[in-house]
C-alpha cells in the first residue's frame, strides 16, 4: 500500500469504509486469532518533568494535584491483575529521570515478578530514558515498552511540543532505537485528529510504523484539555465523532499493513464513545488496558477531558469489560502474555 492508497482508505465512507473494517477484522482473525488480551494499567505517578502542549499532566499545569501511588498500592493492583488472570500489567507515569525514580521503577518491576511467580508480563510506559536505564529495567524483568512518537511529521511534532532540545523529535526517535536494542517488544503510536494534522501526516505515521517494524501500537483520538496550551486551537479540530471514526480507520489500515502486531484499543476512544474500545476490537485491535489505578488517584491522571472510569473500581470494570468484549465477538486470553507475534518473527530472523 502506498501513501495515496492509505489516504484514500482513511477518507473512505459508506461501503468502502465497511469493507475496510471487515477486511481488517478478517486479517486479525486469520493471522493472530480473535483473542483479546488484558494489560492492567497502573498510572503510578502523575509527576512529570515535561511540558507537552496537549497533555493535562504537563509540568506547568498547576491545577493538578501531584501524586505518587505507594509501592504497596502498586503491588496490590498488580496482585489483583494476577489473581484475576490478566496476563500482564502496564506501569505508566509522567516522565522523570532522577536516580530515585529509576531505582523505584526497577524495584517495582522486581517485586511484580516476585509476587506473581514470574507469571505477570510487565510493560513500562515511563517516557524517554537513557540507554542504561532501559537496559537496567529490562534486566530486572520488564519486557515491553510503550513510547508513542505522538506525530511523525517533524513540523507537527514541533507545534505540539515546546521548542527545545528536551522535547525533540530526534531524542524520541533515539529512545525508540535504544528500546529496541535493549531487547524490548517496542510499542509506539500517535494521536489522531490533532490541530494542524493532515491525512497525509496520518498516512506517514502508518508508514513510519511499518518502516520501524514496531511490535505494538497504541493510538487514539486527540482530546483537547482546557488547561493546556493546545486548547487555544480547538476551533481547528474535527468534531469528536470524526476524530473517533478516523481513529478506527487508522487502526483498521494498520491491521492490514502489519497483520501480526499487537494493537491496543486506546482508552481515549472510550472518552468519546462509551463502547469505543469494543468498537476498536471489532475492527482489528486485540489489546485492552483496564485501568487498575487506585480510584483515589484517578482524577489527577487526566491527560485529556472526559477520561472514562474515574470512579469504577477494578472488579466492576472487569465484569463489564468481559461482557462487552464477548459482545464484540471476541474472547479474552486469560492468563496469557499475549505477546506480539511480530516480535517473535522478527527475533527469529535476527532483525
Residue 55 or 250 with smaller CB distance to ligand 5AD: 55
Query: With CB cut-offs between 5 and 8 Å by kind, which of ligand 5AD, ligand FES, none does residue 258 bind?
Result: none
How far apart are CB 193 and ligand FES at their closest, in Å? 23
Q: Tell me which of ligand FES, ligand 5AD, none is bound by residue 317, counting a contact when its beta carbon lies within the kind-specific cut-off of 5 to 8 angstroms.
A: ligand FES
Q: Which is nearer to ligand 5AD, 186 or 303 (CB)?
A: 303
**In angstroms, rounded to a whole number, what is the distance separating the alpha carbons of residues 107 and 97?**
15
Task: Work out what residue 321 binds among ligand FES, ligand 5AD, none; the CB cut-off runs from 5 to 8 Å by kind.
Answer: ligand FES
Side-chain-side CA neighbours of 222 within 13 Å: the count stands at 28
Q: Produce one character per residue of 173-201: b if its CB has 16 or more CB atoms within 10 Å, e if not.
A: bebbebbbebebbbbbbbbbbbbebeeeb
Q: Which does 312 bind (CB under 5 to 8 A by kind): ligand 5AD, ligand FES, none?
A: ligand FES
The entry of ligand 5AD, ligand FES, none near residue 251 (CB within 5 to 8 angstroms by kind) is none
- From the list ligand FES, ligand 5AD, none, pick the one residue 191 interacts with, judged by a Cβ distance below 5 to 8 Å according to partner type: ligand 5AD
d(C-alpha 33, C-alpha 162), whole Å: 42
CB of 148 to ligand 5AD, least distance (A): 4
Can residue 236 be called a binding residue for ligand FES (CB under 6 A)? no
| Residue pointed to by grid coordinates 501531584 | 66
| Cβ-based nearer residue to ligand 5AD, 30 or 154 | 154
State the nearest-atom distance from the C-beta of 129 to ligand 5AD, in Å.
Answer: 14
CB atoms within 10 A of CB 80: 18
Binding mask 317-336 for ligand FES (x = CB under 6 A): x--xx---------------
Reported residue count of the chain is 351
By the rule CB under 6 A, 312 interacts with ligand FES: yes
* Least distance CB 316 / ligand FES (angstroms): 6
Strands 88-93 and 35-45: parallel
| Of residues 141 and 220, the one with the C-beta less far from ligand FES | 220
First to last CA, the chain: 22
Instruction: Please state the closest distance from residue 54 (CB atom) to ligand 5AD, in A.
Output: 4
Q: Which stretch binds ligand FES (CB under 6 A): 208-216, 258-266, 293-301, 313-321?
A: 313-321
Which residues of this chain interact with ligand 5AD, rule CB under 6 A? Answer: 54-55, 148, 150, 191, 220, 222-223, 225, 268, 303-304
Partner touching 285 among ligand 5AD, ligand FES, none, CB below 5 to 8 Å by kind: none
Query: Under the rule (CB under 6 A), what is the footprint of ligand FES?
Result: 309, 312, 316-317, 320-321
Amino acid at each position: 500500500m502506498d501513501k495515496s492508497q492509505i489516504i484514500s482508505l482513511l477518507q473512505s465512507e459508506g461501503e468502502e469504509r465497511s469493507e475496510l473494517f471487515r477486511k481488517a477484522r478478517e486479517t486479525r482473525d486469520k493471522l493472530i486469532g480473535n483473542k483479546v488480551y488484558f494489560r492492567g494499567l497502573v498510572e503510578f505517578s502523575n509527576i512529570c518533568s515535561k511540558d507537552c502542549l496537549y497533555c493535562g499532566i504537563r509540568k506547568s499545569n498547576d491545577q493538578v494535584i501531584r501524586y505518587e501511588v505507594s509501592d504497596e498500592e502498586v503491588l496490590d493492583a498488580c496482585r489483583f491483575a494476577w489473581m484475576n488472570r490478566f496476563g500482564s500489567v502496564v506501569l505508566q507515569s509522567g516522565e522523570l529521570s532522577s536516580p530515585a525514580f529509576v531505582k523505584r521503577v526497577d524495584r517495582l518491576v522486581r517485586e511484580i515478578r516476585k509476587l506473581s511467580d514470574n507469571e505477570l508480563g510487565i510493560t513500562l510506559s515511563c517516557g524517554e530514558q537513557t540507554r542504561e536505564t532501559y537496559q537496567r529495567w529490562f534486566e530486572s524483568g520488564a519486557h515491553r515498552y510503550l513510547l508513542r512518537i505522538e506525530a511523525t511529521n517533524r513540523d507537527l511534532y514541533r507545534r505540539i511540543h515546546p521548542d527545545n532540545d528536551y522535547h525533540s523529535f530526534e531524542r524520541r526517535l533515539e529512545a525508540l532505537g535504544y528500546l529496541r536494542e535493549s531487547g524490548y517488544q517496542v510499542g509506539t503510536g500517535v494521536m489522531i485528529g490533532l490541530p494542524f494534522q493532515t491525512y497525509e501526516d496520518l498516512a506517514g505515521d502508518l508508514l513510519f510504523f511499518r518502516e520501524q517494524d514496531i511490535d505494538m501500537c497504541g493510538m487514539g483520538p486527540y482530546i483537547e484539555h482546557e488547561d493546556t496550551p493546545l486548547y487555544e486551537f480547538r476551533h481547528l479540530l474535527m468534531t469528536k465523532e470524526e476524530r473517533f471514526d478516523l481513529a478506527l480507520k487508522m487502526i483498521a489500515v494498520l491491521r492490514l499493513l502489519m497483520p501480526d502486531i499487537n494493537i491496543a484499543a486506546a482508552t481515549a476512544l472510550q472518552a468519546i464513545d462509551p463502547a469505543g474500545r469494543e468498537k476498536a476490537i471489532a475492527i482489528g485491535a486485540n489489546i485492552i488496558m483496564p485501568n487498575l489505578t487506585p480510584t483515589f488517584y484517578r482524577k489527577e491522571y487526566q491527560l485529556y477531558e472526559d477520561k472514562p472510569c474515574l470512579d469504577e473500581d477494578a472488579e466492576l470494570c472487569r465484569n463489564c469489560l468481559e461482557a462487552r468484549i464477548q459482545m464484540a465477538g471476541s474472547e479474552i486470553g486469560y492468563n496469557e502474555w499475549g505477546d506480539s507475534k511480530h516480535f517473535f518473527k522478527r527475533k527469529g530472523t535476527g532483525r
